Amino acid sequence: MSMTITTTTNDTAATIALDGWLDTSSAPQLADALNSLGGSCTELVLDLDQLEYISSAGLRQIVSAHKMMKGNLVVKNVRPEVMQVFHMAGFDKRINIS
């Protein structure tokens, strides 16, 4: 499976929408999208409404985003199957999920 990333920026805030599978083959795409935000982005929203699957490689990228944003990360629209993975990994206790 593949993944499509749509990035929307507004001054110091950005939203990254993920569509498809965030796995070993697509995690580098998310890393590139995060790196392209640069230092001016102080708030990040990850919109996972269309994310069907996440692997450990995808979880690592979300941890990287959380560290990069110094906690100013919100993950929203998480599907039940992805939320189950977040719950098993303990992400639901460490990351702001709305």
What CATH number is given to the structural domain containing 90?
3.30.750.24
Contacts of 76 (CB under 8 A, 6+ apart): 45, 46, 47, 48, 49, 97, 98
Q: What's the predicted TM-score (pTM) here?
A: 0.93
How does residue 34 score in pLDDT terms, banded at 50, 70 and 90? Answer: very high
Which amino acid belongs to residue 9?
A: T
pLDDT digits (tens, 9 = 90+) for 44-94: 999 999 999 999 999 999 999 999 998 799 999 999 999 999 999 999 898
Secondary structure class of 21 (helix, strand, coil): strand
How many domains is the chain partitioned into structurally?
Answer: 1
Q: Containing domain of residue 72, as a range?
A: 3-97
Secondary structure class of 88 (helix, strand, coil): helix
Other Cβ atoms within 10 Å of 76 Cβ, number = 14
